[in-house]
Amino acid sequence: KDLGLSDIVSAFAGDQESTTVTGERIALVYLSGSIVDGTTPKPGNAVSGPFVDAMRGFARDEDVKAIVLRINSPGGSALASDRMWHAVRRAAAHKPVIASIGDVAASGGYYIACGATVIYAHETSVVGSIGVVGGKVSFGGLAEEIGVNAVTLRHGPYSDWTNGFVPFDEAQRASIQGLLNSTYWRFLRRVAVGRDMTQRAVHEIGQGRVWSGAAGHRLNLVDELGGLDDAIARATADAELEDPEVEVWPRPRSVLESISAAMGGDQEAQAQLESAQGALRWNALLQELGPVGDAANQLPSLLEHEHIAVAMPYVLVVE
């Protein structure tokens, strides 16, 4: 079949009908990519601000009878993960929130899932990784080798602890270890509350270990084995609805919509387009690198401003 101009425009514009769902419904919320703190959506990342706002809105909307949270994330910022956990937990106090784990909900991804009423996962999903990473990369030796000298002026013993030209001294190392410990024990508390377990029991299966969905089911990290359709069916039953409409968040924006908004001066749309262009170039490079590229793709989540992350610090390759 030959394509006319109208067909091409329609393909770019996408389906513009039924973009707004009203009445009694279920909200399907996607949380995908590295978890980062911020207020502006970033392609390929799960940003805390927009997610928290969306969850608050769905929690308050009396016509949204249940929420399905679809998670595909290896984790990321500890601060962002905690903010998002609180948003899920508050929503679950008002209505059913069903977490559906796709390929992976590890560290921060699992942290957030624990705020839900029920957790579904595939048998082969990756769950757990209840652990914390943090610190910095010290490249002072490399800098010295290539003739780069750095002089740091500091005020206080901890003011330059993020300086990559020098390693941690003993006081700084003790301080960062204290932050890691407190973040880990907070993570244990969040899981213990959500899974109705003791912190000791969570610690025994935590410590950074990853589990399959099937193993997680045996260990009480997962309630039910199943996919997204099963989670939606559970949300429908818990909400006592029959064949409800489903509102998807974030609402997919067509290419044409994004371009039009950006040309119209929408700064958020412009930022998203620029970020998407950069992401495409970055992803093309990472694909050439294979597993090394997959590991490099996690660097943003491990180098957030607070330097403490609940993120899986490695990449799993299944063959």
Amino acid at 220: N
Task: Please indicate whether residue 18 is annotated as part of the active site.
Answer: no
* Residue whose entry in the numeric block shows the structure tokens 């995908």: 32
**Residue 239: both structure tokens together:** 């909400």
Cα separation, 305 vs 179, in Å, equals 14
Residues 6+ apart with CB under 8 A from 141: none
Find out whether 82 and 108 touch, Cβ atoms under 8 Å: no
Q: Is-contact 97 66, C-beta < 8 A?
A: yes
252 preceded by a cis bond (ω within 30 of 0) = no
Give the residue among 89, 80, 311 at the shortest CA–CA distance from 210. Answer: 311
Q: Which of 34, 81, 107, 129 is catalytic?
A: 107
Report the distance separating Cα 51 and Cα 41, nearest Å. Answer: 9
Give the integer Cα–Cα distance in Å for 293 and 304: 19
Q: Do 91 and 99 touch, CB atoms closer than 8 A? A: no
Q: Nearest Cα to 121, choosing from 100, 107, 96? A: 100
Q: Which residues does the annotation mark as catalytic? A: 107
